[in-house]
Amino acid sequence: MREWRLVKRIETNGAMQMAIDEAILIARVRGLVPNTLRFFTWKPACVTIGFFQNIEQEVDVEKAKAMGIDVVRRYTGGGAVFHDKELTYSIVLDERNVSFDIIESYRKICGCIIQGLRSFGISAEFTPINDIVVNGRKISGNAQTRKEGFVLQHGTILMDVDIKKMFSVLKVSDEKIRDKMVKSAEERVTSIKREARKEISLEELERELKKGFEKVFGVKFKEDELTKEELEIAEKLCKEKYSTKEWCFWR
């Protein structure tokens, strides 16, 4: 059976997390590392925006700063996400191991998450383009990029959700709409805590998600660290790209 790498869970800030994801992709393209799955958490909480979004339009940057919440632009497209009480995964793999078709590859990778959630009695499904929902409520958002035949996909799995806090940093122009948005978001978003009806630890969730990936892809994971090269690339990307104003405000 093929062996892929699982990188031990890392807790750090958003700029470094995004830099690590890109560093693994670069290392994979260069043939320095095998296909790799990792899980991570955000400290401090962070808003990420999609590659093509206008930061000022999506995020109250001043308020986020005052609340100690980071704001970082992703390499991947898609929408703005408030990362707080969640487990995030990222997987880097050869597109021949998943699919050349983008929607099909979302479906397959999201299938691993759905498989993992099933072990907690949560019945989730994939809704194209890139969401996982439980009874119509979103529990996971996902985004991918591709580089020279390799795929990087990262996504959230909500452990718990504080919608008021979420909308205090994500921009909604008018107060009336804000109240409506909070109400409608409460109906449109769910979490592990709510769906499993019991406390599930990050370790338990991670273990079951890992099994989901193993089952769907027919592989075994070997736990390992990031390589020295990956860490060097990540530190450089963090400092020179993801932490810079030029990157975060580029459109």
Partner 1 sequence: MLRIDVEIEGNVIKDIRIAGDFFIHPEEAILLIENSLKGIEKNRVAETINHLLKEKSIKIIGFEPRDLEEVIARI
Q: Given the rule CB under 8 A, which residues bind partner 1?
A: 50-54, 57, 75-80, 102-103, 129, 143-147, 251
Among candidates 56, 86, 87, which has minimal Cα distance to 71?
Answer: 56
From first CA to last CA, the distance across the chain in angstroms is 45
Smaller CB separation from partner 1, 98 or 192: 98
Closest distance to partner 1 from the beta carbon of 68 (Å): 25
Instruction: Enter the DSSP assignment of 95.
Output: G
The tokens of 81 are what? 């996400």
Omega into 128 within 30° of 0, i.e. cis? no
Omega into 129 within 30° of 0, i.e. cis? yes
Smaller CB separation from partner 1, 5 or 138: 138
Closest distance to partner 1 from the beta carbon of 163 (Å): 19
The residue type at 165: K
Distances from the Cα of 108 to the Cα of 73, 172, 202, 221, angstroms: 26, 33, 23, 17
Smaller CB separation from partner 1, 54 or 123: 54
In angstroms, rounded to a whole number, what is the distance separating the alpha carbons of residues 39 and 112? 13
Smaller CB separation from partner 1, 22 or 70: 22
Closest distance to partner 1 from the beta carbon of 242 (Å): 14
Smaller CB separation from partner 1, 119 or 244: 244
Closest distance to partner 1 from the beta carbon of 53 (Å): 6
In angstroms, rounded to a whole number, what is the distance separating the alpha carbons of residues 160 and 194? 7
Task: Assign 68 to helix, strand or coil.
Answer: coil
Closest distance to partner 1 from the beta carbon of 146 (Å): 6
Strands 150-158, 131-134: pairing kind: unpaired
Closest distance to partner 1 from the beta carbon of 129 (Å): 6
Smaller CB separation from partner 1, 13 or 76: 76
In angstroms, rounded to a whole number, what is the distance separating the alpha carbons of residues 70 and 14? 7
